[in-house]
Amino acid sequence: MSPDAGKWTKPDERHRRLSNDDASAKKVSIYNHWREITAAILVSNSDGGYATCANREASSDLRRLAGPTEGQRSASMRQAVEAQVLTAHCGLGLRQVLVDVMEEVKQSVDQEVSGAELLHSLLESPWLQALMQVSTVWTRPYCRSVLYGPGPGPTAGQYCMDQALLQAFECLHRFRRESPAPALTYASGLSLQLLIDIRSLSGCSDEARELYSLLRQPHIQALLSAHDTVAQKDYEPVLPPMPEEIPDDEEATRTVCLVKNKQPLGATIKRNEITGEIFVARVIHGGLAERSGLLHAGDRIIEVNGFPVDGMEPEQVIQVVQARSHGTIMFKVVPITERPVHSQTMLYMRAMADYSPQQDPSIPCADAGMGFKRGDVLEIVDQTDALWWQAKKLPSTSACAGLVPSTNLLRRKQREHWWSQPYQLHNCAQTYEEAFESAGFRRSIRLCRRRSHSTSQPSCTARCAAISTAAGPYEEVVRYQRRPNDPCRLVALIGASGVGVNELRRRLVAADPHVFQGAIPHTTRVPRSYEESGREYYFTSREVFDNMVYNNRFLEYGDYKGSLYGTSIQAVKAVLSAGKICVIDIEPNAIQAVRTHELKAYVIYVKPPSAERLRETRQDALITTNYYVNRPFKDEDFQEMEEASRKLESHYCQFFDRVIVSEELEASGAELLVAARQAQDEPQWVPATWIRPPDEA
Ligand SMILES: Nc1ncnc2c1ncn2[C@@H]1O[C@H](COP(=O)(O)OP(=O)(O)OP(=O)(O)O)[C@@H](O)[C@H]1O
């Protein structure tokens, strides 16, 4: 537990609730009944299903007399008869207990005792009734199997039922003997993955839709979660025994016992500055407090381990909590009367900004915060608070969420940070283009990249706005799996000049020209004798080219030695409509132009290796610059490449779907081939707007 503005302690505990409100006596009575029934079922199981009895004494008697093992089937007639007598008694006793409990629960429900309704519905459930019926009959097969000889033969119906029960019995025995291991321990995770995958399908079959709605049912999710708990054998720690004396207060309070282990408690506290009262401020999703279901935001804490906390500072309360490093921590709380209803839908966001809770003085509790970097995909598990969401970073190993700023709050922080530190965040003083140009950014095969333009980001102002604020600090994403008949996704390579983008692109197309193809560029230059329009280039007039620029038909374009060159959207689409994977290399400022519903670009960043390996691997390589064709690399080329790569990463890393280090050409080429295929065949996170119509997104 932690003050909402202070330290976050990490006691790991398991809980128990003891009721001590007005209806405490009744609750305890129900509790005892509950334990009774549980004990009965457990005894039944441990005995291999011989008898379910209404009280433990009877059960242990039965165990002693009837014996649980098959070896004891040959026990004497006397034992069998005793067992039969006991069985009849036990079956009746259990029924009586059920009737009593239901009667009592009914009265409790009338008094609106919390939890009683749940127990009532459980006891009324057909499956439990059926189980009890079976357990009553259950003892017969054993006795009858012993008694068939001397006694009157069974009726046909009775015989069949006995056989069926015996089969079930043997099945249970075999199960116990073979102790099968679970096929997997993360059924809930798998179901979540399925939900994500189904949801990312743009159109799906009725069966898929039905599966989706089935898997979303709370009881199916609870069942899978229970399965995982059993599969992971996550039963520790054992609950402490119920205290002998339960204090009797006039105020409706609840005593919550939690047992520390390694996990954080997952709750923060706050203090009402006027009254000095301490409240649970928030409960962290997946934390111990949340999983216990016993502490809720808004509950007032009266005591911790017997110490009254009213008037204390949150930090002092924490000290009291921390004073006991092991064992049980007991909270006495006044539960909040009206708990807010949570209707959380699954939401995934790609972070478009970095965030560090340790450097954020406004976070309610830094230790409960979760840092992230641009490009991280976050699962938003709670948006109840308008300012502070709860999220998990994917892929997530922790069950516990962390606090992250909401979209509005993070946007506000970015703006505040912008004003306080304009030179760190805002780049208008030096545009991205200038930044890259001064570092010698890509020259490319079309040799016009230094003066290239992108249709999507015509000015610095627009670019900075798009990247920092207007586009939002988060981008909603969904899991997308391309269907076989959908057009392929565009593969867009990006990297600093000379790093090997073109080399890798060429190798990819050469590896399988039937599958991969580049987009044919447009140019206004005069065709050479061997060139053919539509093969090397689309040769166009300047007017046509200008018109295409005016109508935003280019992903990017530029001029070189007085002629214009550009990659049109249509040229890319032509490759995609032919059923091929289009592979192009782009300047960073064209990223937004290719990240569209139509092209669904998979952006691969080609990164240089370490300084040492860069120099080693390019020993025999030749570079083409604006002034020289095919000259060896110089040290300043490497420095420029490294500098440009750093800038590129720092500004655009959130858009990279994949990073390939261009070290050994063979290996990098193979990696690119795999990545390009995975982009088509495997589910990927893509902006939600690509999948949903814009008004819905
Ligand atoms: N991993 C590598 N190992 C060795 N040589 C490489 C490697 N990657 C690229 N090269 C060589 O470096 C030179 C420049 O590569 P490439 O033309 O692909 O650069 P680029 O990234 O497309 O940059 P630009 O667009 O400026 O040409 C080529 O001669 C290429 O063969």
- Grade residue 314 by pLDDT with cuts at 50, 70 and 90: confident
Higher per-residue confidence, 457 vs 279: 279
Q: What is the pLDDT of residue 198?
A: 87
In the chain, how many domains are there?
A: 4
Local confidence band at 624 (pLDDT 50, 70, 90 cut-offs): confident
Same domain, 158 and 275: no
pLDDT value of position 667: 95
User: Does the pLDDT at position 432 exceed 50?
Assistant: no
Co-location of 402 and 525 in the same domain: no
Q: Looking at residue 386, what is its pLDDT?
A: 86
Q: Is the dihedral of CA 428, 433, 436, 439 positive or negative?
A: negative
What region, left, alpha or beta, does residue 472 occupy, with left being phi > 0 and alpha being psi -120 to 50 degrees? left
Phi, psi of 483, deg, nearest 5: -85, 155
Rounded-to-integer distance, Cα 296 and Cα 267, Å: 9
Q: Which of 125-129, 310-314, 365-369, 524-528 has the lowest mean pLDDT?
A: 125-129
Q: Is there a domain that residue 501 lies in?
A: yes
- Is 193 a residue whose pLDDT tops 80? yes
Closest residue by Cα to atom 25, ligand 1, is 444
- Residue-level pLDDT at 606: 97
CA dist 365 and 349 (Å) reads 22
- Ligand 1 contact, 502 CB (< 6 A): yes
Contacts made by residues 574-578, CB under 8 angstroms, sequence distance 24+: 574/519, 574/520, 575/517, 575/518, 575/519, 576/487, 576/488, 576/490, 577/487, 578/517
Strand partners for 49: none
Give the single-character DSSP code of 372. Answer: B
What one-letter code names the amino acid at 205? S
The answer on pLDDT for 157 being more than 70 is no
Between 160 and 363, residue with greater pLDDT? 363
Q: What is the pLDDT of residues 440-491, one digit of tens each?
A: 334 443 344 434 455 543 333 333 333 444 468 899 999 999 988 899 999 9
Most confident of 88-97, 416-425, 672-681: 672-681
Whole-number Å distance between alpha carbons of 621 and 501: 14
Residue after which a domain boundary falls, among 366, 387, 420? 420
Residue 665 Cβ inside 6 Å of ligand 1? The answer reads yes
Q: What is the ipTM of this complex?
A: 0.97
Last residue of a domain, one of 163, 178, 193: 178
| pLDDT reported for residue 649 | 94
DSSP secondary-structure letter at 364?
A: S
In the reported structure, the alpha carbon of residue 621 is separated from the centroid of ligand 1 by a whole-number distance in angstroms of: 7
Residues 74 and 116 in one domain: yes
Query: What does the pLDDT read at residue 586?
Result: 93
Residue with tokens 């457990």: 42
> Quick one: 639 and 676 in the same domain?
yes
In a shared domain, residues 504 and 464? yes
What pLDDT score does 56 carry? 34
What average pLDDT does this structure show over 343-364?
86
* Whether residue 396 has pLDDT greater than 70: yes
Which residue's alpha carbon is nearest to atom 10 within ligand 1?
A: 500
Between CA 394 and CA 225 the distance in angstroms is: 19
Within a domain: 114: yes
Distance CA 238, CA 247 (A): 23
pLDDT in tens, 505-552: 999 999 999 999 999 999 999 999 999 999 999 999 999 999 999 999
- Taking residues 54-76, what's their average pLDDT? 36
Asked whether 374 lines ligand 1 (CB < 6 A), one says: no
Higher pLDDT, 319 or 223: 223
Percent of all residues in the chain with a pLDDT value above 70, rounded to a whole number: 64
How many A from CA of 503 to the centre of ligand 1?
A: 5
Element (H, E) at 647: helix 635-652
Q: What residue's CA is closest to ligand 1, atom 9?
A: 500
Q: What is the mean pLDDT of residues 297-309?
A: 89
Q: Return the residue whose CA atom lies nearest to atom 11 of ligand 1.
A: 621
CA of 663 to the centre of ligand 1 (A): 11
**In the predicted model, is pLDDT for residue 43 greater than 70?**
no
Q: How far is the CA of 622 from the centre of ligand 1 (A)?
A: 8
Counting from 1 in the atom list of ligand 1, the atom nearest the Cα of 506 is: 18
CATH code for position 323: 2.30.42.10
Evaluate whether 376 touches 350 at the Cβ level (below 8 Å): yes
Domain boundary among 334, 363, 379: 334
Residue ID of nearest Cα to ligand 1 atom 5: 618
Beta bridge partners of 604: 493, 658
Residue length of the chain: 697
- pLDDT for residue 86 is more than 50: no
**Cβ atoms within 10 Å of 603's Cβ, excluding its own:** 21
Q: Please state which of the ranges 47-51, 367-371, 638-642, 649-653 shows the lowest mean pLDDT.
A: 47-51
State both tokens at 465.
């706005």
DSSP class per residue in 376-387: -EEEEEE--SSS
Ramachandran sector of residue 179 (left: φ over 0; alpha: ψ -120 to 50; beta: rest): left
Centre of ligand 1 to C-alpha 502, Å, is 7
Single-letter residue type at 70 = E
Instruction: Identify the residue with better confidence: 465 or 586.
Output: 586
- For residue 233, being part of any structural domain is answered with no
pTM of the model: 0.62
List of long-range contacts for 369-375, beta carbons under 8 Å, 24+ apart = 369/402, 369/403, 369/404, 370/401, 370/402, 370/403, 370/404, 372/404, 373/653, 374/653, 374/654, 375/350, 375/351, 375/653, 375/654, 375/655, 375/656
Q: Is 193 contained in some domain?
A: no
Residue 488 has what DSSP assignment? P
Q: What's the chain's average pLDDT?
A: 73
Residue located nearest, by CA, to atom 13 of ligand 1: 623
Listed in sequence order, the residues at least 6 apart from 91 whose beta carbon sits closer than 8 Å to its beta carbon are 52, 135, 136, 139
Q: Which domain holds residue 308?
A: 2-15+247-334
Lowest mean pLDDT among 3-17, 341-355, 377-391: 3-17
- Answer positive or negative: Cα dihedral of 356, 361, 362, 368: positive
Is residue 645 lining ligand 1, measured as CB closer than 6 Å? no
Mean pLDDT of 387-391: 92
Q: Is the CB of 446 under 6 A from ligand 1?
A: no
pLDDT at residue 340 in the model: 67
Rounded CA gap, 10 and 367, in Å? 9
H or E stretch including 229? helix 218-231
If asked whether residues 488 and 595 sit together in one domain, one would say yes
Q: How many helices (H) and strands (E) does the chain have?
A: 23, 26
Is 31 contained in some domain?
yes
Answer yes or no: is 341 within a domain: no
**Distance (Å, rounded) from C-alpha 446 to C-alpha 611?**
27
Which of 245-259, 344-358, 409-423, 433-447 has the least mean pLDDT?
Answer: 433-447
Beta carbons of 377 and 348 less than 8 angstroms apart: yes
Same domain, 124 and 163: yes
Q: From start to end of 201-341, where are the E strands? A: 254-259, 267-271, 278-283, 300-304, 307-308, 328-334
Distance 509 CA to ligand 1 centre (A): 16
Task: Summarize the confidence of residues 176-201 as an average pLDDT.
Answer: 83
CA distance 168 to 172: 6
Q: What's the pLDDT score for residue 167?
A: 78
Q: Of residues 268 and 647, which shows the higher confidence score?
A: 647
Q: According to the model, what pLDDT value does residue 428 have?
A: 31
CA–CA dist 139, 62 (Å, integer): 10
Say whether both 523 and 667 belong to one domain.
yes
Of the pLDDT bands very low, low, confident and very high (cuts 50, 70, 90), residue 65 is very low
Q: Which helix (H) or strand (E) holds 591?
A: helix 591-594
How many other CB atoms are found less than 10 A from the CB of residue 653? 14
Does 330 share its domain with 398?
no
Of 454 and 264, more confident: 264
Q: How far is the CA of 497 from the centre of ligand 1 (A)?
A: 8
CA distance 303 to 175: 47
Is residue 572's pLDDT more than 80? yes
Q: Is residue 590 a part of any domain in this protein? A: yes
Of 196-210, 262-276, 451-465, 577-591, the range with the lowest mean pLDDT is 451-465
Same-domain pairing of 580 and 672: yes
What's the average model confidence in pLDDT over 489-511? 95
Same domain for 581 and 678 = yes
Probe target for ligand 1 pocket from 556, 612, 616, 618, with the most ligand atoms within 8 Å of CB: 618
Q: Whose CA is nearest to atom 7 of ligand 1?
A: 500
Predicted confidence at residue 152, as pLDDT, reads: 54
Q: Is residue 211 part of a domain?
A: no
- The CATH code of the domain that includes 670 is 3.40.50.300
Q: Is 327 exposed, middle or buried (0-12, 13-18, 19+ CB in 10 A)?
A: middle
Answer yes or no: do 650 and 674 share one domain.
yes
Q: Read off the pLDDT band of 430 (50, 70, 90).
A: very low
